[in-house]
Structure 1
Amino acid sequence: MEINMKSTLILAATTALATPAFADVNIYSHRQPELIQPVLDAFTAQSGIGVNIAYVDKGMVERLKAEGDRSPADLVLTVDIARLDEVVKAGVTQPVESDTLTDAIPAEFRDPENHWFGLTSRARIVYASKERVAEDEVTSYEDLASEKWKGRICTRPFTSDYNVALTSAYLAHHGAEATAEWLDGIKANLAKKPEGNDRSQVKSIWAGECDISIGNTYYMGQMLADPEQQDWANAVRIVFPVFEEGGTHMNLSGVAMTKSAPNRDEALKLMEFLVSDEAQRIYAQSNHEFPIKPGVARSELVESWGSFTPDTVALDTLAEKRPDALKLIDAADFDG
């Protein structure tokens, strides 16, 4: 009897050691894993909870729908308000009630029903040649359609999420007719056919192929950190254009919990960590994005770019106007 009891205790102890205290959190991410790995590593170090990331660039909603209740994904990490809105409208997320999240994130950066929460923000700005563009030559988004920029603008395709969101903001400010004219004006000013990503446009400025491009702020930090791209970054300055009677266009990255979420408790711990001071500082320092949590400082590099006035168009308005913005971009044959 004593031997059997000892065996039972040894077996129980061995089983306890072999069983992790927490399950891993599984993430489907639109973001490149390396961009968010530093903050996830900090979470694991603090909590002991592992994190697995599957990079799903396209078809995330379709994948979650197909998997249904069997989906291994606990969280969705994505960029652009339209993508966050898409996963919610597809019915593949669930509301999350957490005082930690709602206290940390201003109301304008989270879903009213608590399906998604913003983590960082970024501005859609102009990269301008230091050699060929005067300090005050770039003023507004409207000005990009001016004939003075003929043959001087480079851009990634306007059907990309970031440019669709910018077009949605223009549509919110000026209406469909003016937006169509604006798209035609920018297209007439292109130095070459839209292609590549935001960083490759900066390379084109460095190479003398164009004088200005449209891009997100944080790419400057990424280029300066890459020895192969430092010369590109040093060839340009960041300019914060505004809408007439508005401010600089903003977008965000965010997180949502999936409807299936097999590891809900661990996933909630990660969501709450992502809005902590520590995580927001890591985002700011490693990615040079704007922290969403009030009181967390931007990186020194971001501060060096100067201050600006964010636009007041609501994020849900950008998502609402996305279909019409896409129609206008297609009608202009902008990327053709």
Structure 2
Amino acid sequence: MDVRKFVGGAVLGAVAFVGTAASAQEVNVYSLRQEFLVEPLFENFTAETGIEVNVIFAEKGLVERIKQEGANSPADILMTVDISRIQQAVDVGVTASVSNDVLSTNIPAHLRDPEGHWFALTQRGRAIYASKERVAEGEISSYEDLADPKWEGKVCTRSGTHVYNVALFASMIAVHGEEKAKEWLEGLKNNLARKPQGNDRGQVKAIKEGECDIAIGNTYYFGKMMDNEEQRPWAEAVNIVFPNQDGRGMSMNISGMSLIRSAPNQENAVKLMEFLAGDVAQQIYAEVNYEYPVKPGVEWAENVESWGTFKADDISLAEIARLTPDAIKMVDEIGYNK
């Protein structure tokens, strides 16, 4: 695990959290988000407040670590992605409820926990990628279309149990009920060109290579591929489709933050949370990873804006989290990954 300290906008290198005593001038963050995504945020926060940000970066295992550390954990804030991963921290009892006017004003109700245990920081849509050569514009326009037999053998997805897909499947349960959602998922499985595999960008590559015509992927990957010389041809081979614009809107997922129950620097932690929900941080955070701000009125990154506007699904993310176990069960029951 990588531990860093951000002071006045400068990275001072690896340090260790010293004890668990609260400091008037620091806050400790456990981050499952990568350093390049959050470093600019913490630098700006320190420059504005003088409060140092100590960060542990890891790809996984931080919720379990906080639970093991118990009341002695130095963690003040957990930053992570995907509603199911955020909800995991709530379910194991390591988060605290926050009632805060700034957070309630800046973050719409469907993008925060009703009890204040988590708050969204950015949004990403679960889009459809369609071949420019083989799929006519408007030929596919909804998640429901993915199960149309006309696309048999032409759809690629990553694993059905990956959290990004599970959130989408949970949203289908929320919209259609479990029985119809299961029928839809079976139809999608029947249309797969290959066994679910790889990541979101790998599905777009498969379209470029002619292995399939349609794929599902998060919106921000389009920007990442366009920035990558090797992967740009993949992105240029597809249209990014915002689904269900005549109905529910595009299914959205989030990155988010939670206050840790045993936070030794709770006051500073809440200050950082307020900052992260503010205009400056929202714009920086959205631009650096091609995501969408959660605070209404904050401008999108220029290249993200060029993809077009869309209607976003406003289903409560708390409802998506509640239905996640049902979605996973449904994936297993139909043998989606086999």
Task: Give the TM-score of the pair, scaled to structure 1.
Answer: 0.88
Are 2:112 and 2:318, in contact at CA under 8 Å, matched by a contact in 1? no
Pick aligned residue for 2:292 from 287, 290, 293: 290
Q: Does residue 67 of structure 1 match 2:61?
A: no
Query: 1:101 corresponds to which residue?
Result: 103
Query: 1:227 corresponds to which residue?
Result: 229
Query: 2:150 corresponds to which residue?
Result: 148
Higher mean C-alpha displacement, 116-125 vs 94-103: 94-103
What amino acid sits opposite 1:229 in the alignment? Q
C-alpha distance after superposition, 1:287-318 (max 9, x if no partner) = 12111111111112222222222223221111
Query: 2:4 corresponds to which residue?
Result: none
Structure 1 moving runs of 4+ over 6 Å? none
Q: Which SS does the other structure have where 1:334 is aligned?
A: coil
Are 2:81 and 2:254, in contact at CA under 8 Å, matched by a contact in 1? yes
Pick aligned residue for 2:182 from 164, 167, 180: 180
Q: Which SS does the other structure have where 1:326 is aligned?
A: helix
Q: Does residue 321 of structure 1 match 2:327?
A: no
Are 1:154 and 1:201, in contact at CA under 8 Å, matched by a contact in 2? yes
Q: Which SS does the other structure have where 2:60 is aligned?
A: coil
What amino acid sits opposite 2:91 in the alignment? K
**Runs of 5+ in structure 2 lacking a partner?**
1-22
Q: Which SS does the other structure have where 2:256 is aligned?
A: strand
Query: 1:53 corresponds to which residue?
Result: 55
Query: 2:78 corresponds to which residue?
Result: 76
Cα shift at 1:49: 3.0
Are 1:22 and 1:48, in contact at CA under 8 Å, matched by a contact in 2? no
Q: Does residue 132 of structure 1 match 2:156?
A: no
Higher mean C-alpha displacement, 156-165 vs 277-286: 277-286
Cα shift at 1:243: 8.2
CA separation of 1:270 and 1:166: change in aligned 2, threshold 3 A:
same
What amino acid sits opposite 1:232 in the alignment? W
**Runs of 5+ in structure 1 lacking a partner?**
1-20
Q: Which SS does the other structure have where 1:96 is aligned?
A: coil
In 2, Cα distance between equivalents of 1:309 and 1:97 = 29
CA separation of 1:109 and 1:137: change in aligned 2, threshold 3 A:
same
Larger Rg computed on CA atoms: 1
Cα shift at 1:123: 1.0
Q: Does residue 334 of structure 1 match 2:336?
A: yes
Q: Which SS does the other structure have where 2:255 is aligned?
A: strand
What amino acid sits opposite 2:153 in the alignment? G
Are 2:113 and 2:119, in contact at CA under 8 Å, matched by a contact in 1? yes
C-alpha distance after superposition, 1:259-288 (max 9, x if no partner) = 111222322221111111111111222212
In 2, Cα distance between equivalents of 1:320 and 1:114 = 16
More helix by share: 1
C-alpha distance after superposition, 1:89-110 (max 9, x if no partner) = 2210112233222221122222
Are 1:144 and 1:186, in contact at CA under 8 Å, matched by a contact in 2? yes
Task: Give the TM-score of the pair, scaled to structure 2.
Answer: 0.88
Cα shift at 1:140: 1.1
The number of aligned residues is 316
CA separation of 1:332 and 1:69: change in aligned 2, threshold 3 A:
same
Query: 1:273 corresponds to which residue?
Result: 275
Cα shift at 1:145: 0.8
Cα shift at 1:74: 1.2
Query: 2:8 corresponds to which residue?
Result: none
What CA RMSD, in Å, does the superposition of the two structures yield over aligned residues? 1.8
Are 2:125 and 2:219, in contact at CA under 8 Å, matched by a contact in 1? yes
Query: 1:12 corresponds to which residue?
Result: none
C-alpha distance after superposition, 1:232-279 (max 9, x if no partner) = 221211101128842211111111011111222322221111111111
Q: Which SS does the other structure have where 1:246 is aligned?
A: coil
In 2, Cα distance between equivalents of 1:306 and 1:179 = 28
User: Percent same amino acid at aligned positions?
Assistant: 54
C-alpha distance after superposition, 1:2-43 (max 9, x if no partner) = xxxxxxxxxxxxxxxxxxx85443222232232222222322
In 2, Cα distance between equivalents of 1:40 and 1:203 = 34
What amino acid sits opposite 1:135 in the alignment? E
In 2, Cα distance between equivalents of 1:154 and 1:221 = 20
In 1, Cα distance between equivalents of 2:203 and 2:38 = 24
C-alpha distance after superposition, 1:208-240 (max 9, x if no partner) = 221111011111112212222222221211101
Are 1:119 and 1:255, in contact at CA under 8 Å, matched by a contact in 2? yes
CA separation of 1:44 and 1:231: change in aligned 2, threshold 3 A:
farther
Cα shift at 1:60: 3.2
Pick aligned residue for 2:164 from 147, 150, 162: 162
Are 2:26 and 2:54, in contact at CA under 8 Å, matched by a contact in 1? yes
Higher mean C-alpha displacement, 188-197 vs 23-32: 23-32
What amino acid sits opposite 1:53 in the alignment? V
Query: 2:310 corresponds to which residue?
Result: 308
Higher mean C-alpha displacement, 225-234 vs 276-285: 225-234
